[in-house]
Amino acid sequence: MKKKITDYLLSIVLCFGFLGVLACSSEKDTPSDTETTVKSLSANTTKIDLKGTEDGADITITSEAASWAISSSETWAKLSVTTGTKGTFLVRLTAEENKTTAVRTAVLTLTSTEAKTVTISVSQALGETSSGLYPNYNTSPIAADASGMGSTAAQLAAKMKLGWNIGNTMEATGGETAWGNPKVTKQLIDLVKANGFNAIRIPCSWNQYLANADKAEIQTTWLNRVKEVVQYCVDNDMYVIVNIHWDGGWLENNVITAKKEANNAKQKAFWEQIATTLRGFDEHLLFASANEPNVENAEQMAVLTSYHQTFVDAVRSTGGKNAYRNLIVQGPSTDIEKTNKLMTAMPTDKVADRIMAEVHYYTPYQFCLMDKDADWGKMFYYWGKDYHSATDTERNATWGEEADLDKFFLSMKTQFVDKGIPVILGEFGAIKRSDLTGDNLTLHLASRAYFLKYVVKQSKANGLIPFYWDAGNLGVNTMSLFDRSNNTVYDAQALTALKEGLQ
């Protein structure tokens, strides 16, 4: 019995020993997890230097891993292929011109669950249009914020009904009150809203408000003043456009190749500062690149397009709500005929369907703005087929009446609106010739009211958003709707005509 027990115990020991050998052998013969992931994954370079102009480079990736992925830390460094399998692959890295004021860098990261991570450093020199004339003012970019920015350009345009310009004020040379208007107050904006307008255009000057002209640095106090006026509008649930207006003509009168580099540098510097200051406003705020940029031909149009592109890029680069903000670019001279002929392309944008076009309308000039006769023509007092004078015939409009207006506005609808690009009619109006007397004055006023009503009516019919020009000055040959000195309605007839045009 004792021998049997001994033999039994020995058998158990031998069994466990045998199992242990098997276990040890199995553990030793099976590769570790670490060993299974170490497969070859490589790129033919670890450093790429790009020229400042549009440039690119080829990257050869060789992989024994079953799958891999490559990503870029920066959106400007674009990759033609981002994933692959076992084998050899060619990936094309591309970058557009570096329009910033500094060399920019990115990191490409090549990864696989079966291989060690590979990094490739990328740098791009300054581009030809990056003169470095001014500092980079995009010093605090933030992540894109879509809250309160849900409307596309077309959707936002549908919400804007009738607009009004705070003319000759925030853009006045010498200061806000230099051209005779009082400072903009909340009470004035309340008055405008109460009289049927739901949008305001704020023509703005910036170049005269520089803390440091050599650096194109805008005074903080002026940036904050513009922000205050924007807040008046937004508080009234009004849409508001902020632009760079005439501003001494540095851009408007210099849409030429010789000024392209310098003006793009200033455009970038200004818009980085403006956009950063006003970044917190929701979609009620829109930015406009310029005012009435003087352009006569395709060569100048190419320069203007570069100014607009710089504007779009500068605003977008600041992030936050500006990443989605609706932006407005002006046609050549904001003239409808020139725009129809020369504005064949819009600037590119990182976000789709957030750009509008802008034109102005003071046609015919002899009726809308001309205040004295000239050798080439005389003033028109009466506009519209049913408003011509039977006694003062030499003052009847001979061109630019209903048929011409219909043709002009339809051309903007066809060129832009029908393609999902709304059109802002940023300025329009006709002076009030209150020095006329008797029947001539009565007919002129009725004709002028009809003109205003017709512009608004046809704007609505063609998808244009009309903004009436109001310079604030009162008296003969002016366009003011409101007396800003006491915040009252000054021209009830014109105001009524504008609102009737919406009906």
Cβ atoms < 10 Å from Cβ of 119: 13
The first and second tokens of residue 278, run together, are 């006003």
Integer angstrom CA distances of residue 277 from 139, 209, 235 = 12, 15, 17
Q: How far apart are CA 501 and CA 454, in angstroms?
A: 6
Cβ contact 383:447 at 8 Å:
yes
Phi and psi at 314, nearest 5°, equal -65, -45
Query: What is the distance between the alpha carbons of residues 459 and 472, in angstroms, rounded to a whole number?
Result: 24
Asked if 261 contacts 131 with a C-beta cutoff of 8 angstroms, the reply is yes
- Joined together, the tokens standing for residue 240 give 């508001």
Nearest alpha-carbon partner for 383 in 361, 408, 365, 371: 365
Place of tokens 């009830």: 492
CA gap 208, 247 in Å, rounded = 7
- What is the length of the chain? 503
Task: Give start and end residues of each alpha helix (H) in 103-219.
Answer: 153-159, 186-194
Please say whether the beta carbons of 181 and 484 come within 8 A: yes
Instruction: Tell me the C-alpha distance between 498 and 449, whole Å.
Output: 8
Q: Quick one: which of 109, 143, 220, 165 has its CA closest to 424?
A: 165
Q: Which helix (H) or strand (E) holds 325?
A: none
CA distance 210 to 217: 5
Cis peptide before 31 (omega within 30 of 0): no
Separation CA 150–CA 163 (nearest Å): 21
- 296 is annotated as an active-site residue: no
**503 vs 105: CA distance, rounded Å:** 55
State the alpha helices, DSSP H only, in 117-235. Answer: 153-159, 186-194, 220-235
Residue 292 bears catalytic tag: yes
- Which one of 171, 358, 401, 427 is the catalytic residue? 427
Q: Which of 244, 214, 268 is nearest to 98 (CA)?
A: 268
Do 494 and 452 touch, CB atoms closer than 8 A?
yes
Integer CA distances (angstroms), 94 to 13, 46, 79, 82, in order = 69, 16, 7, 13
Of 292, 299, 337, 358, the catalytic one is: 292
By annotation, the residues acting in catalysis are 292, 427
